[in-house]
Every structure is written in C-alpha cells, then in structure tokens.
Structure 1
Amino acid sequence: MHALDSRETWNDADLLAALRRIFGYTSFRPQQRDIIRGILDGRDSLSIMPTGGGKSLCFQLPAALRDGVCVVISPLISLMKDQVDAACANGLRAAALNSSLDAAGRGAVHAALREGALDLLYISPERLNVPGFWDTLAALPLAFFAIDEAHCISQWGHDFRPDYLALSGLVERFPGCPVAAFTATATPEVERDILQRLGLRDPLLIRSSFDRPNLFYHVQPKENVHAQLTAFLERHAGESGIVYRSTRKKVEETAAFLQKKGFRAGCYHAGLGDAERARAQEAFRRDECPLMVATVAFGMGIDKPDVRFVAHLDLPKNLESYYQETGRAGRDGDPAHCLLLYSPADMAQLLYFARQSEDEDQRAVAERQAYAMLDYADRNECRRKTLLAYFGEAYQAPCGGCDVCTGEIREEDYTIEAQKALSAMVRSGCRFGRVLIMDILMGADSRRIRETGFHSLPTYGVGKDRSRRFWRYLIDALLRHGLAATEGEDYPVLRVTEAGWETLRGKNPFRALRIVETRAKRTREKTAADPGSADESLFQRLREERRRLAEAAQVPPYVIFHDRALREMAARKPASPEELLDVPGVGEKKLRQYGEAFLAAIAAHVSETDVSAATPDPVSAASA
C-alpha cells in the first residue's frame, strides 16, 4: 500500500507520454495535470470540475501508473458499466463489483483482485455495507480511493444519498491510502460539507470554472409546450437529446405525443420496472432511441458524450439541479443547446413542495433556491453570469452563448398593457380566471361576456390590437412579477396585488422580457450544428463503421470513438497507422483494436471520391 508521504518521480514528459499512449491525447485539459500529480504524490484531494471536464481521466491515468488497485466509488451501476467499458477500451484493467453480477461474476472479480490483475475496481457506496467487504479491501494492495459524484455525501447537495455517509470511515480505516474526491456541482456550502464529512487530510483543492462554453442557454415562457418542443426538435433533427419533465404523468404524455409525431422517443421514470428502465437507457446509449423523455431519475447514470440538447419543459427545483441536468449535453466539447420553458404554475409548484419540509432551515433553503431558479429564468441578464454566480463564480458578460447576450430576447416597457390587464381584473370584480380576462381585453363576442354584461366595461376590447397569445404571455408575466396573483385551486381567479395597484395608479412602470426571432439565432444554430471542416459523407461512413463495431463488441458507439475523433478522421483522412495515431482520442490499444477497420473505411471513401472526380460528367462531356 502506498503511504501518504511516498513520492515517485513523474515529470511532465512521463505524464504526457502515458496520456498519449493510453488515451490518445497530446495535452491535458485545464487542472488535469495538477490533480493527477496530487494523486501520484499521495495527497488527498477534492476536485470540482464541470461535467465534460475530464474527471475520469484524472483517476484512470494515475491508476495505470501507481502500484495496486484504485477503488472507485460510483453511485450507479449504469455509470460504472460505461466507465468500465471505456477504461477497458483504452487498455486499462477495470471491473465493477455490484448487484448486477451473479456468483460466478463476483468470483471472477475477486480472483482478479487477489492476482493483482486490476487497475480499477468500481463499487457502489452500498457495497461498503456488505458484511466483510471492509476486510476484503484491507487485504488488497490499494493505490488510492476515487470518490465520484462526491456531492452525494452532503445533505445540502441536490443528490444526497445516505449510503455515501459510509465513506466518512475511509480515512480512519485506511490512514496510508490517499482519497481523491470528484464532483461537477458544489456550492461553497456543499464543498465545505464534503471536506468535513470525508475528513480529508491537508487536501489539494481544485475548483475549476463551472463555465461550459459549448452550451447555449435558451429560456422561453410556456405557451404551447408540445408545439414549442416540436419546433425545437425540428432544428435538431437526427441528434441525440434529453427532454426533462417534472412528473411521471407528464413524461408519459410527452413521450406518447412525440412517438405519435414519428420521433424515436423513449420514456424513463422511477415508476417503471427495473428491466424496462434498463432497456430504455441501453437503447439511448446505443443510439437506437436518440430521444429520451424522463424525470430527473434519468440523471447521474448518463455518460453519453454526444447528447446535443437538453430541454426542460418544467422549471427545475433549483439551479444546482438545472446545472447538473443541462450538463448531460455536450460532454464531448462540441456545441449543444439547453432549452428551458417555465410558467407561474411551475413556480407555484416549486414553492408548494419547498414548504412541505417540517425543518424550518431546510424549508427556508428550498424557498430561496426556488426563487433563485425563477430569477434565472425571468431576468434580462446573461444566463451564464447568473448561473455561475450561484456557484460563487464571477463572470464578465456578454457570453455570446445565451439568448440574452445574442439579442434573442429583450426587455420592453409593458406598463400600458399591464394597466389594461389589471384594470380588466378589477372591473370584473377579481372573480374570474385568465380566459375571461383575455376575452374582455380582446372584445370577444361570447355568451358568457353577454351574460355578465362585461361587453359594456370601459376595458372591453382595449386589447384588440394584440393577439390572444400576447395577453396570455402578459398575464403570466404579471403573475411572475407579483403584480397579480391567483386564488382558489379548482377554479383559480385573478386578483391584483399591492404591487399591481402601484402600477395601475401609474406609480410603478412594468417591464418584462419578450422573445424576438433574429437572423443571428438562425445563423448561430446552423454554425453550431456543423463544427469543423470534416468531410460530412466520410463522417457518416465512419459513424456507420463505429456502429457496426460497437454492436459486435456489445458496447455503446462512443466507447469505440467519440464523434469528435471521427470528425478529426474525416477532416485529416489518415492513410497509415502512424497518421491515425495522431488523431486525438486514438490511443495505442484502440489503434490495435480498431485502426485497420477505420483506415480501410477512409481509404475506400478516398478511392471512391477520386474515381468520381476523375469520371467526366456525361452532360458536360457531350457539350464539350
């Protein structure tokens, strides 16, 4: 077992050579080198890095270099499977020990451990509660412990898991073994809680920027959710993505709607059986079902790098959850799109659930988080700046990667329109819902209007110059900003608040965000959808070859190569093993295993293209 004060000499050249040989990269991402050096030096560490920042490499590389086995604590079986597959594909000796194995499978893993034939052992925190397992670990030559998703140990975190509390005993039980903790989301409060609960010794603390520059953040008020989603998906045809909904019922409704429209959409929530959830997740991982509609139960187990969009059709419970869920998009570093739809009803639901806690402190925290979530959605300020500020990080706007900074929304003065809507509420006695208020404003000639006599009100028809869609949006904005409120559950009616009376009397102007379509939006989306200078037909051919190899190996396509590596191949068109090895993401093991197949596909494409270019066009030849 390595002692904490042991030192081994690993200079930059050694580390880069190992990185190149195993993973096929010629340089480290920000912070990776410092984290790896800390582990190799035997230091405890806590690394807070954004999703897609390359956390797994930070413990997989030192696991290949240090003696002994690295024990990785990971929260979900599906996440372990992805990481074991990826590690083995890169030539590392990795296995998982979890409840999905039968007795023979568990025996094989234990045998490999006894023989020193593993670099990485993945376990769940629940495994530590299995009688005798602590003794099993004590008998092993341990390199270090790596704790993935370390925020799960904090009761202030958004994914608290009681089983993670068992990890508090690691340092005491294994005083000579370093502990490296990793998480993608941690507020300063959660960070302090992780350090305290794990009892890390003089830890190296790495806090990377939470910024994901490849993600575009886009927020819209809800109007017609399924119509808005359909329009969004049409701009992302053929791409892989996740649609989050807040309840199981909404998940099933949206999945059924998309399937009826011809989309290959799966369904995932905690109410489904284990086998059904596993089938849905596997279909998503293997690109058989590129679109997944899910509750937040479809979360940490997603290690798919080529998710091109995440759409939230309901307001998430807090910004930490929202950041984690949008972080499922663009893990490969290529552009990805994050859409959020929201409404006053979403906010009311968040506050309702926040106020169910019997603990006063937890109730106050939940309410504060709910208001921060609404503030993010409903402010005319850079989305990225607001999001990063929540994690204690300053950001200088404009970012160029959100709807506010690209001019796709703007704030407008709606004082006159607000006064018209508020006046319609007051003059109708604050006894009716939004449908009748919109009828009054639009001057509708309906039986209900005639029966109530509202066609004679001074406000009747004052909003004819605007669409019904506009008045629905404006009333929602009045509710979000607290100028109006609803009363009653079965038949909610609109009433004017004190703030609304101030606006009605002309003492307070009213401004709200308004969506505008711009040429910049369409140009940006087209650019983001087609990065690089790759030969598109060759790229698609390489994707097909990857799919064939993945099916034969029974692994997801991205375990073979990421899209980014295929795009590099399609741009460079390597003709030899040496040239293919220069493509980022192609290590020595993958070159041996897959190099011949991909070089053959590239050579065939080049040959066919050359023949096509050399063959005269019959029409042109005849005219010549």
Structure 2
Amino acid sequence: MEQRTGAAWSEADLHQELGRLFGYAAFRPHQLDIVRSVLDGRDSLSIMPTGGGKSLCFQLPASLMRGTCVVVSPLISLMKDQVDAACANGLRAAAFNSSLSAAERAAVSASLRTGELDLLYVSPERFGVPGFWEALAACPVSFFAIDEAHCISQWGHDFRPDYLALSGLVERFPHCPVAAFTATATPAVEQDILSRLGLRDPRLIRASFDRPNLFYHVLPKEDLNAQLLAFLDRHAGESGIIYRSTRKKVEETAAFLRKKGLNAGAYHAGLPDAERARAQEAFRRDECPLMVATVAFGMGIDKPDVRFVVHLDLPKNLESYYQETGRAGRDGDPAHCLLLYSPADMSQLLYFARQIEDEEQRSITEKQAYAMLEYAERNQCRRKALLAYFGETYPEPNCGGCDVCTGEIAEEDYTIEAQKALSAMVRSGCRFGRVLIMDILMGADSRRIRETGFQSLPTYGVGKDRSRRFWRYLIDALTRQGLAAVEGVDYPILRVTESGWETLRGKPFHAMRIVETRARKSRKPEAELGPDEALFQLLRAERTRLAREAEVPPYVIFHDSTLRDMASRKPASLQAMLDVSGVGERKLGLYGDAFLAVIEAYRESGA
C-alpha cells in the first residue's frame, strides 16, 4: 500500500479503498468527513447512532496511514471479535490485554514496535498500568480512536473512572490526532468529553440520532408472560435481547421461556464470570438466539443482526433506553423495540432514586424517571419524543415507524369508568389495594368483601359490565397518570390524589386503548427486502459452517444484509461477487468460492 499524507488521498481514492477493503460502493452519512479529518491530522468527536458504521471511520484511515491506530475499546471480551472482523477485511489487527499469554503479549509488542500493525485494541484500564505510556511512546502511533467516549463524562449514563486516564493523550502524543466516538451524548456530556480529552480545535460531527429501521412499540403490562410469548411467536427464529430490571427477574423469565421450549440464555452481574462469558459467546455465535439480561449485558454488544429488543420493565432513563434499543438492527435491517411497563416499575425507579444520598443527583435521577414515564404514557410520536431528548427536532408529522404514528394505539374517554374506580377507593377508605378495589367494582362474593361489609357500598358491582382485565388496566392507567397513588411496599394501598378528585368532580380522563396489535417490523417496504428466501437460508447455513471452522461469530464472515444482496443478485463468478455489498477483496479470497458453490447448487436444483 502506497503511503501518502492525508491531503494526497482524493475522494475517488477513498471510495476505491472503501470498495477494496469493505466491499461497499458508497460511504454512509458522515463517514467520509470523519475519515478525512483523521487523514488531515485533526481531532474529532463523532456522535453517531449505533449501527452508523463508526468502526469503518478509523479502520479505513488506519489502513492508509503510517504507524498503528490505537483503539480504546471498553470490553476485553469483545476485542477478539473486533480483531477478527478487522483481519477478515484485510487489516493487520491485534489486541493487547490480560487475556493473552506472556508469549502472545510479547509478539503483539514486537509487531507494534516495528509498525506491523494497522490497529491495536486496548482497554482504558491498560493506560493505568505502569510503563504502558512509555512503551507506547516508543512505537509508531498514527492516531488514537476512542470508542464509547461518553464513558469519560460523569454526566453520562456509563461513566467509567478508567477513562479519565485518557485525559493525558493530547499532552503525551501532541502530533497524533484523536478521534472520539459515542452513540449517545446529551449537550452536557458532549461538552464534558471535549473538555476532559482536551481535543484541539476538534471537528464536531453530530449525526442524527434517528434510527429509521427501528420500530418503537409501547404497551402497558397486562399478562406479561402471555404478551412476551405472543411477541416472540411473531419473531420466531430471530435473535433478540429481553431486558429485565433485576437479577431475580432475569432468572424467572429465562426459566419460563426454557419451560416453553425456547432457547433462552440468562446474563446478569451475579453470575460467575465463566457462565456470563459462555452465555455471551453463545448469543454472538447464534447458538442461543434469545438473551434475557439486566443492563449488565450492554456496552459492546457488537452483534449486528439483533432483530428485536424487549424491555419488560421501565428503563431508568431515556438515554439508557435509547442505548439499549440501539442494540437492535445495527446492520440497518428492520428491527422491533417493544417496551412493556406498569406503575410498579415507576415505583421501583423512584425507590432506587430516593436511596441516593447526594441531593442533586437524587433530583436528577427522579426527573429522568418521570421523563421515561412520560415517554411511555404520552400519545405522541415515539421517535419525535426520543430525538427531542437529545436536542434534535424530527421534521415530519408522522414517522411511520412507531405504534402512535401507525395507529396501533389510540386514546379513549374513560371518565365514567375512572369515576367508578376512584369512588370505590374513596368509599373503602383508601386503605386497600387493587385486588379488593376490583372485587368491589365487579361485585365479587369473596370472603374479604363479606368481612369488610363492602357489599353494601354504592359502588359495589357498578363495574360488572366490564372484565376484570379491563379494571386492572384502568386502575394501572389511573396510577400511571397520577390520579391515584400507590403507597406502601409490603402491603400497597391505593390513594386518590388531587388530580383524581378533579376527575371525580367531572374533569375528563383519557387513557390509551389498544386498537391493533399486529407486529410491525419497520417502515421499509417488504419489496425492498425481496431476496429469494430459500437461498438466503442456505447462505446463512454456509456462513454458520464457515464461522464454526474459523471459530468466529457468523457476522464476522458476512452480515445478513450481505447475504440478502447475494441471494438477490445470485452472482455466478468471483468478479460478479465483488458487486455484492459487503464483499471486499480479502473476504472474496477467503469465502467467495464457498458461497458461489451454494448459489450454483441452488441453481442446478431448479429452485
């Protein structure tokens, strides 16, 4: 490869290298600007959504520049996959971390000193190891790429003290540009990153936070397990993550799914390291398609073909929700994000928030929880609300990619029903929970009703015309919207709030009504996804075989989107295979013949 200065690489040259290395005909939005900044020796902070192709932004210039790009990556467990993926595209890459043997570390160090590496992946903790700075200074470093840069900010949702050591990069390596990347950063976090890293006249590249391929769907919890099974049935055979708020809930949901015959793994911080590693590896390699997890299963989930993310509990804030849903559809193909929530979720969030000793942090955490609830409760475009949180205005009146904009939910006037339920609470003395209130409304002949004498209340039996499920939903809606409050932990009771008294006096009450529950996968028309499905599945099977031989996750071989394009084009030669998106020269040499053989056999079968 000819070595040139940044300015010597024309746009045509960079497009040629893009195709040679990665097999792509065009850059995604902002990628070319970031690559050009690195080649020009300029610092940059790039805020790009998950799946925006940030790794290409440092891998491409690393292949063109003298010396080694040092990539700061937060998870040692992910580095092997990152190295495998880079090597599969023809780059010279290695990781330097504690998982290597002494001999392996010595070999990597030797390659680094002699400039034989394009990319070196290290963790932020490595910069705290005595002598590492000095060893690095003796090597030909071309530039630094800092992944998950929001971790350096104490205002961020994933602050990691080890990242603070990176504040010394600019001073120690004044001639090396620094390219920082993050998928989530509020304006406050953005300024904190710039300040702590000390970036010099940085180029700030803020891409849209919109993920057009994600469909956002929010529902109140009714029968949680039944709702989950119905959703998974519509996504059979697909890979997905199911988030739960506690370790206990993770174990319960994973056990439930296994009992139903589904291949579901469990992941949380309470499991032994080896068990967590096995679960993560099985998920990456498509051996276990469903992962039930706490948010401990988070940063660094690099699997591109996650087709759905389900939250069975309310996330702690919108930034976390965005980050977690962003693990779906990183390959750009359609993906579904479902959130199920209940008043109990909000009570739990507030309980945890109120355990925070620092008054300012406690107030911030409570406000974030209420903002998360408002997102779930308000009958407005999910995408518009989510982008507004990050200071971005969505320009269209209808996004076509959420339950509100597609008409899957609507509001209904439930004023009379609300008055009945609130009256039952008042007349029973606001001393009982939801179950007894529903018994009063339904006119149940239960022992508790007889013991309390509530069969004589004016509200006894006024709700017989509705199902018990309806009243459960309505009482939940009353608490979610603040007309009733749940008090107590061991024996929760319902109390009517001032807003509830206003409704008793005649103020209208509206709640969301489910009018359509069909699963929507994305705004992208199915016609755009139209490869031959049978051939696509055969190509996937071949990819799995090759991945097992190479001991890498299947997506390191090719992404699903590449296989879809291959199934659609049905190339008959190696030269034609280069026209498939995602097939570069290196991967053509490694895998081209194997996939051509599958396509040829498919043709000969007459399918």
TM range, normalised to the smaller chain? over 0.9
- Report the Cα offset of residue 79 of structure 1: 2.5
- Trace 1:178-197 onto structure 2 (pairs within 5 A): 178-197=177-196
Larger mean CA deviation between 548-557 and 353-362 belongs to 353-362
Kindly tell me: are residues 570 and 147 of structure 1, through their superposed partners in 2, closer, same or farther at Cα, counting changes over 3 Å? same
Contact persistence 2:401–2:522 (CA under 8 A):
no
**Counterpart of 1:298 in 2: which secondary structure?**
coil
- Trace 1:522-533 onto structure 2 (pairs within 5 A): 522=519, 532-533=529-530
- Report the Cα offset of residue 533 of structure 1: 1.6
- Report the Cα offset of residue 488 of structure 1: 2.1
Kindly tell me: are residues 527 and 147 of structure 1, through their superposed partners in 2, closer, same or farther at Cα, counting changes over 3 Å? closer
User: Which residue does the alignment assign to 2:136?
Assistant: 137
Q: 1:574 aligns with which of 557, 571, 574?
A: 571
Q: 1:534 aligns with which of 531, 534, 550?
A: 531
Q: 1:586 aligns with which of 556, 574, 583?
A: 583
Contact persistence 2:215–2:521 (CA under 8 A):
no
Contact persistence 1:335–1:528 (CA under 8 A):
no
**Counterpart of 2:155 in 1: which secondary structure?**
coil
Query: Is 1:565 paired with 2:562?
Result: yes
- Trace 1:9-88 onto structure 2 (pairs within 5 A): 9-88=8-87
Kindly tell me: are residues 36 and 250 of structure 1, through their superposed partners in 2, closer, same or farther at Cα, counting changes over 3 Å? same
User: Which residue does the alignment assign to 1:413?
Assistant: 413
CA–CA distance in structure 1, aligned partners of residues 453 and 272 of structure 2: 55
In structure 2, runs of 5+ residues without a counterpart are none
Larger mean CA deviation between 424-433 and 20-29 belongs to 424-433
User: Which residue does the alignment assign to 2:388?
Assistant: 389
- Trace 1:140-539 onto structure 2 (pairs within 5 A): 140-396=139-395, 397-506=397-506, 508-517=507-516, 521-522=518-519, 532-539=529-536
CA–CA distance in structure 2, aligned partners of residues 56 and 455 of structure 1: 67
Which amino acid in structure 1 is aligned with residue 548 of structure 2? E
- Report the Cα offset of residue 115 of structure 1: 2.2
In structure 1, runs of 5+ residues without a counterpart are 1-5, 611-624
Which amino acid in structure 1 is aligned with residue 588 of structure 2? L
Contact persistence 1:285–1:556 (CA under 8 A):
yes
Which amino acid in structure 2 is aligned with residue 565 of structure 1? T
TM, length-normalised to structure 2:
0.97
CA–CA distance in structure 2, aligned partners of residues 155 and 310 of structure 1: 27
Which amino acid in structure 2 is aligned with residue 109 of structure 1? V
**Counterpart of 1:267 in 2: which secondary structure?**
strand
Contact persistence 1:63–1:119 (CA under 8 A):
yes
User: Which residue does the alignment assign to 1:599?
Assistant: 596
Contact persistence 1:336–1:528 (CA under 8 A):
no
Q: Percent identity?
A: 79
- Report the Cα offset of residue 367 of structure 1: 1.2
- Report the Cα offset of residue 524 of structure 1: 5.7
Which amino acid in structure 2 is aligned with residue 554 of structure 1? E
Kindly tell me: are residues 142 and 183 of structure 1, through their superposed partners in 2, closer, same or farther at Cα, counting changes over 3 Å? same
**Counterpart of 2:536 in 1: which secondary structure?**
helix
In the alignment of these two chains, the number of paired residues is 602
> 1:270-301 deviations in whole A, cap 9, x for unaligned?
11111111110110000000100000010012
Contact persistence 1:308–1:336 (CA under 8 A):
yes
Contact persistence 2:336–2:521 (CA under 8 A):
no
TM, length-normalised to structure 1:
0.95
Contact persistence 2:114–2:139 (CA under 8 A):
no
CA–CA distance in structure 1, aligned partners of residues 442 and 36 of structure 2: 68
Which amino acid in structure 2 is aligned with residue 548 of structure 1? R
- Report the Cα offset of residue 526 of structure 1: 11
- Report the Cα offset of residue 7 of structure 1: 4.7
Query: Is 1:556 paired with 2:553?
Result: yes
Query: Is 1:608 paired with 2:605?
Result: yes
CA–CA distance in structure 1, aligned partners of residues 400 and 45 of structure 2: 31
**Counterpart of 1:462 in 2: which secondary structure?**
coil
Contact persistence 1:241–1:307 (CA under 8 A):
yes
Cα RMSD between the aligned structures? 1.4
Contact persistence 2:400–2:523 (CA under 8 A):
no
CA–CA distance in structure 2, aligned partners of residues 571 and 376 of structure 1: 39
User: Which residue does the alignment assign to 1:617?
Assistant: none
CA–CA distance in structure 2, aligned partners of residues 179 and 525 of structure 1: 36
Kindly tell me: are residues 528 and 347 of structure 1, through their superposed partners in 2, closer, same or farther at Cα, counting changes over 3 Å? farther
Which amino acid in structure 2 is aligned with residue 54 of structure 1? G
> 1:575-605 deviations in whole A, cap 9, x for unaligned?
0111100000000000001001001110110
Contact persistence 1:79–1:300 (CA under 8 A):
no
> 1:426-456 deviations in whole A, cap 9, x for unaligned?
1111111110100111111222212222112
Which amino acid in structure 1 is aligned with residue 493 of structure 2? V
Larger mean CA deviation between 30-39 and 78-87 belongs to 78-87
CA–CA distance in structure 2, aligned partners of residues 446 and 368 of structure 1: 41
Contact persistence 2:71–2:120 (CA under 8 A):
yes
**Counterpart of 2:606 in 1: which secondary structure?**
helix
CA–CA distance in structure 2, aligned partners of residues 318 and 522 of structure 1: 25
Contact persistence 1:240–1:307 (CA under 8 A):
yes
Which amino acid in structure 1 is aligned with residue 440 of structure 2? I
Kindly tell me: are residues 525 and 7 of structure 1, through their superposed partners in 2, closer, same or farther at Cα, counting changes over 3 Å? closer
